[in-house]
Amino acid sequence: MKKLNPFFSNRIFFLKQFIIIFVLVSLVLGVIFYLYNRSESAITITKIKSNQKALVLAQKKYIESAIFAISRDILFLADFIENHRVYEHRNSVLFKIAELNTLALSFRKGKYDQIRFLDLDGMEVLRINYNKGEPDVVDLADLQPKGNRYYFKDSIGLEKDQIYVSVLDLNVENGKVEIPYKPIIRFAAPVFDNAGKKRGIAILNYLAQELIEGLDFFRLNDEYHHMLVNQEGFFLHYDEKPNSEFAFMFPNSEEKRVSTIFPLFDEYIAPHDEGQIHNSEGIFTYTSVYPLQSNWKSSTGSTRADDDSEYMIDAHDYRWQIITYVSNSTLKNSRKGSKNVLMLLFSFLVLAILAAYVIARLQLQKKLSAMEIEKLAHHDGLTGLVNRRFYIELLKHYLALAHRRKNKLALLFVDLDRFKPINDQYGHGMGDYVLKIVSDRMNLSVRDSDIVARIGGDEFVIILNDLTNKEQVIPVVERLLKSLKESISFGSHECSIGASIGISIYPGDGDDVDTLTRKADMAMYEIKKSGRNSYSFSK
């Protein structure tokens, strides 16, 4: 059975998520409108409360999904730095490739003010500056020591796969808050080499203005206000009073705490994770967002001149609160206009569609990020075929399956003929192109249920599963040989290769990975000795 095209698979996933979320929101709206027929005034208040609950929930999901996506990016960056051995200046080719690919990452993502790698002393080894959409690589002479920065001190002790997340604050340059204000969250992850030795820290400076502006997307009415508050009770975002934002970055900021404007905050909102309050001021709806997962770390990141303290924050202490506020005067105006049922219905319908669309998109992005990471771990970067490590896991799986079903299984060891002269004569560019063409031809020559893997430079293995007799292998092998003999064009050049194929059969030739692989390899070498471009079963 053919696999579903990834494009259609992702569309179906998105559509399912959208329908589920839309149906759930629509059910809530249906209940609200049913209650409206019984009490117009009560339903108006209930509608606004439900609206605000849905709003803060959607904003929370939006923030959590954004943080998750960045956490995947920082882990990917750490793995990328490790794979390209950026910490080793001896390999200038790998380092240049790393620079170019990191530059591309900055351009494509468009949300990281800086992408950096710091060595164990805090010295920058690689830095990409975003420059408002025109990213560039910082010259070696302009790289700076960052060993005294709080985020380096707090993240250098991280273990494998741990993530550091700084507080959300304003960027500071030369000891002063940068103008115009630039909200930043720093994400860091340790980089280890193949021997398990820590080599430094990968850092992403996330432009958090994108996160803050994203919250405004959920606003339905200019009279409904919302806030994002940190664990110290300061505004990170307040649409009604922007001049109160990030007051903790400056001296004498106590009068700009949330509790100064809303006295109920300290007693009724700050001590709780979520809830809703309807009092003489209006309706306050709030929920909590925890940027840290259990294995992550953070610090205060304080930049105030009068506060040099730095201490680690655990996952429970690092908290933001999303708060929406609808004043009583706004509620009165809403009740006066609540007779227009069609307008209310239309507004809720738009809310349902927007919330369903945004959350479904975020879920799809989360799925695609996970799929991308899994593909990098299990597939060859050049050809897209299964790599050696994943091939061993798959062969074990299919051997167990063949044992249960009492079927046969064939393992084909394929070594390309006359491939080395192509690299020597035309260069690795053509060699890589030939490997990609060969990989495509192999995939087209086998069934969808069979597995093609690249285990070396020009060495491949193919798992033919669910066989009843070894004669079923011969047509497949002959198709492979015929396909691989066809000439390959590369610009003005043309070449022709072949393949030597050794075959081992389960259970006759063995019942484990090593035995089957070794016997198929030996059979392949017999063909190499006797003239190439043919196949042989293990004897």
Query: Which among 427, 452, 429 is positioned nearest to 442, based on CA atoms?
Result: 452
* CA 182 and chain centroid, separation: 24
Instruction: Give the burial class of 34: count Cβ atoms within 10 A of its Cβ; 0-12 exposed, 13-18 middle, 19 or more buried.
Output: exposed
Q: What's the rounded mean pLDDT across residues 93-108?
A: 86
Cβ–Cβ < 8 Å for 497, 488: yes
- More confident position, 294 or 127: 127
- In sequence order, the 6+-apart residues with CB closer than 8 A to the CB of 294 are 315
For 515-524, the pLDDT digits (tens) are: 999 999 999 9
How confident is residue 98, by pLDDT bands cut at 50, 70 and 90?
Answer: confident
d(CA 256, CA 248): 8
292 domain-assigned: no
pLDDT level of residue 334 (50, 70, 90 thresholds): low
Residue written as tokens 């429970």? 316
Looking at residue 311, its pLDDT comes to 46
Q: State mean pLDDT over 286-293.
A: 90
The residue type found at 510 is G
Closest CA to 56 of 346, 267, 203, 269: 269
Those residues with Cβ within 8 angstroms of residue 463's Cβ, 6 or more apart along the chain or in another chain: 391, 394, 395, 398, 409, 410, 411, 412, 450, 451, 453
- Tell whether 520 is covered by a domain: yes
Check residue 352 and give its pLDDT.
Answer: 76
Angstrom distance (rounded) from CA 141 to CA 396: 52
Tokens encoding 424: 């020597």
Contact 496, 481 (CB under 8 A): no
Residues 207, 213, 214, 215: is their CA dihedral positive or negative? Answer: positive
pLDDT of residue 413: 94
Look at residues 186, 207, 228 and tell me which one is the last residue of a structural domain.
Answer: 207
Task: Say if 249 falls within a structural domain.
Answer: no
* The predicted structure's pLDDT at residue 417: 86
Per-residue pLDDT, averaged over 162-179, amounts to: 88
Mean pLDDT calculated for residue range 148-175: 88
Domain with 507 in it: 388-537
Is residue 381 in a domain?
no
Percent of the chain clearing pLDDT 90 (strictly above): 36
Name the helix (H) or strand (E) containing 370: helix 341-378
Q: What is the pLDDT of residues 407-444, one digit of tens each?
A: 999 999 999 888 888 877 777 778 888 888 888 898 88
The residue-averaged pLDDT of 222-229 equals: 87
Catalytic residue among 458, 511, 514, 521: 458
Q: What is the pLDDT of residue 89?
A: 67
The three-state DSSP-derived secondary structure of 445-508 is HCCCCCEEEECCCCEEEEEEEEECCHHHHHHHHHHHHHHHHCCEEECCEEECCEEEEEEEEECC
Domain boundary among the residues 207, 223, 250 is at 207
User: Model confidence at 172, in pLDDT bands (50, 70, 90)?
Assistant: confident
pLDDT digits (tens, 9 = 90+) for 362-419: 777 766 655 554 555 577 878 888 888 888 889 999 999 999 999 999 999 999 888 8
Residue 397 maps to a domain: yes
pLDDT of residue 275: 95
Mean pLDDT for the chain overall: 84
What pLDDT, on a 0 to 100 scale, did the predictor assign at position 335?
58
Question: Which residue among 151, 180, 207 closes a domain?
Answer: 207
Q: What is the pLDDT of residue 161?
A: 84
Q: Is 458 assigned a catalytic role?
A: yes
Residue 156 lies in a domain: yes
Which pLDDT value is given to residue 142? 92
Query: Closest Cα partner for 185 from 103, 289, 324?
Result: 289
Mean pLDDT over 511-516 rounds to 91
Instruction: Using the predicted structure, report yes or no on whether residue 282 has a pLDDT greater than 50.
Output: yes
pLDDT at 309: 40
**Number of domains present in the structure of the chain:** 2
The answer to the question of residue 188 being in a domain is yes
pTM (predicted TM-score): 0.54
Q: What is the CA radius of gyration of the chain?
A: 30
CATH number for position 159: 3.30.450.20
List Cβ<8 Å contacts ≥24 apart for 337-342.
338/36, 338/40, 338/41, 338/43, 338/44, 339/40, 341/33, 341/36
What's the pLDDT score for residue 315?
Answer: 57
CA 203 to centroid of chain Cα atoms: 15
pLDDT of residue 308: 42
pLDDT for position 303? 37
Cα–Cα dist 363/211, whole Å: 17
Asked if residue 214 has pLDDT above 80, the reply is: yes
Tokens standing for residue 10: 């992702």
Could you tell me which residues come within 8 angstroms of residue 151 by beta carbon, excluding any fewer than 6 positions away? 164, 166, 186, 188, 203, 299, 301
What mean pLDDT do residues 303-307 have?
36
296-299 vs 163-165, strand pairing mode: parallel
Q: What is the mean pLDDT of residues 63-67?
A: 92
Residue 195 located in a structural domain: yes
pLDDT at 48 over 90: no
pLDDT at 3 over 90: no
- The yes-or-no verdict on residue 449 having pLDDT over 90 is no
Mean pLDDT of 507-512: 90
Higher per-residue confidence, 374 vs 39: 39
Nearest to 68 by CA among 212, 211, 216: 211
CATH code for position 500? 3.30.70.270
Q: For residue 288, name the pLDDT band (cuts at 50, 70, 90).
A: very high
pLDDT at 306: 36
